[in-house]
Amino acid sequence: MSRVAKHRSAFTLIELLVVIAIIAILIGLLLPAVQKVREAATRMSCSNNLKQLGIGIHGFASTYQDKVPAMLDRGPSGVPAYWMPFWYSMLPHIEQDNIFKKGQGTDGWGNNIATTVVKTYLCPSDSTHANGLTTTGASGWGASSYAPNYYMFGTANPYDSSKGVNICGSKYKIGNIPDGSSNTVGITERVASFPAYGWSNASFYPMSASYWGWNSQGSVYGPWGLGYGPQPGCTPSSGSVICHPYYSSSQHTAVVLVLCMDGSVKGVASNVNNTTWQYACQPDDGQPLPANWQ
């Protein structure tokens, strides 16, 4: 009598558990790699933003007799606008002419410019804003993940008789930075919103010691002195490193990206000490940058 072959129609419970365990292990192995790829992509996008801003600064200089954008300028008779913050002045040089033209006859944050989101001003790693708008300080304004260096763009405060006001601008032109353009930080990452002091990094907020407060919103540094930094991998309101407005900050895992005045972009790690950081941000201290900056 022949035997009928029996065919197994399902896995046993133990076999299913083994398969599930193998899948879990594979996911655990792949997840860090996926996160690394994602971080590399966002860092590249952020770097491209800074490179575009560097091109914009040099484009501004080509248009205005080698000058660099002021932290807070003013157009005579409202042309191209009345008060003009740094990020507003940059707009036509990063292909945002339409937003720039909205400012004519008003201020650089008027006519709904204040709530305008400019993609180039946002790092894809920055989670501290809400759809491109700040959530603290000047809440609801267009946010920026970057900030100009006050000591590069804002330490001169001359009276401009043609405009009838003091301009918060730079002592230097693009070609005469005493420490050299490659050794001077122009723009650095700085997250959009902070839990501390209710400050924010609003793109079109007026940034001047002579206007609204002591540069408390959009600049890396204020007249109280040099800031601290860098602060990579910070979190908005919890975690081991909380984003703080005194620091140059990012949500990249290992570095804060900075734009030097020659247009180059550099990733600065948290192990760069404050002394080195200050040397890099002061345009005229005459100090060579230490080896840990490289």
Residues 237-249: pLDDT tens digits?
777 788 888 888 9
**263: its two tokens:** 């247009």
**117: its two tokens:** 């989101």
CB 232 within 8 A of CB 249: yes
The average confidence (pLDDT) of the chain is 84
Which of 4-13, 98-107, 153-162, 275-284 shows the lowest per-residue confidence on average (mean pLDDT)?
4-13
Model pTM score: 0.84
Cα–Cα distances in angstroms (integers) from residue 107 to residues 69, 84, 150, 282, in the given order: 16, 6, 21, 30
Q: What percent of the chain has pLDDT over 90?
A: 47
Whether the per-residue pLDDT at 292 is higher than 90: the answer is no
- Tell me how far apart the alpha carbons of residues 59 and 63 are, in angstroms, rounded to a whole number: 6
Bridge-based pairing state of the strands 247-249 and 228-231: parallel
Average pLDDT over residues 185-212: 78
Whether the per-residue pLDDT at 233 is higher than 50: the answer is yes
Average pLDDT over residues 10-29: 77
Sequence spans of domains, the chain: 16-60+118-152+174-293
| Most confident range, picked from 103-107, 157-161, 229-233 | 103-107
- Tell me how far apart the alpha carbons of residues 77 and 93 are, in angstroms, rounded to a whole number: 22
Residues 45-78: pLDDT tens digits?
999 999 999 999 999 999 999 999 998 899 888 8
Whether the per-residue pLDDT at 114 is higher than 80: the answer is yes
Predicted confidence at residue 275, as pLDDT, reads 86
Whether the per-residue pLDDT at 29 is higher than 80: the answer is no
| N-to-C CA span, the chain | 85
Whether the per-residue pLDDT at 210 is higher than 60: the answer is no
| Residue type at 35 in one-letter notation | Q
Compute the CA torsion angle 130, 133, 136, 140 (nearest 10 deg). -120
- Tell me how far apart the alpha carbons of residues 188 and 205 are, in angstroms, rounded to a whole number: 17
Closest CA to 246 of 166, 204, 190, 179: 190
Average pLDDT over residues 201-222: 56
3-class DSSP state of 170: coil
If pLDDT is split at 50, 70 and 90, which confidence band does 199 have? confident
If pLDDT is split at 50, 70 and 90, which confidence band does 12 have? confident
Which of 6-10, 64-68, 142-146, 213-217 shows the lowest per-residue confidence on average (mean pLDDT)?
213-217
If pLDDT is split at 50, 70 and 90, which confidence band does 10 have? low
Closest CA to 71 of 221, 267, 260: 221
